[in-house]
Amino acid sequence: MNKCLKITFPVACTLDFLRTFVQKHARDLDLEGIAQVVVAENSVIVLVCGPKDSVDQFVEILHKGTKKINISDITVEPFVKVKDYRGVFRIIE
């Protein structure tokens, strides 16, 4: 069964963190979606879809990784996939 989540947290990271940590783990877990810094909202939005167990594991990894850079306010909510990400996880700049 597939699961999609929208994960939001304050901008306290760099695009390098998104590439080296978020994108790396999403690809390792064979997940698809996007990560984007939304300057107007001062936040990072991650849309991730994939097998339920992989998505749950990704959320755990994300919580651990963001604690290392002092991000504690992470919001995780269900997301209805309306776009085809073509099996790839991308960073949108």
Structural domains of the chain in order of their starting residue, each with its CATH number: 2-92 (3.30.70.100)
Residue 70 has pLDDT above 80, yes or no: no
Share of the chain above pLDDT 90, in %: 55
Residue 13 has pLDDT above 70, yes or no: no
Chain mean pLDDT for the chain: 89
Rounded Cα–Cα distance for residues 36 and 32 (Å): 14
Judged on CB neighbours under 10 Å (0-12, 13-18, 19+), 84 is: exposed
Q: Which residue has the higher pLDDT, 84 or 49?
A: 49
pLDDT of residue 82: 83
Rounded Cα–Cα distance for residues 8 and 73 (Å): 8
The pLDDT of 47-57, averaged and rounded, is 97
pLDDT of residue 75: 93
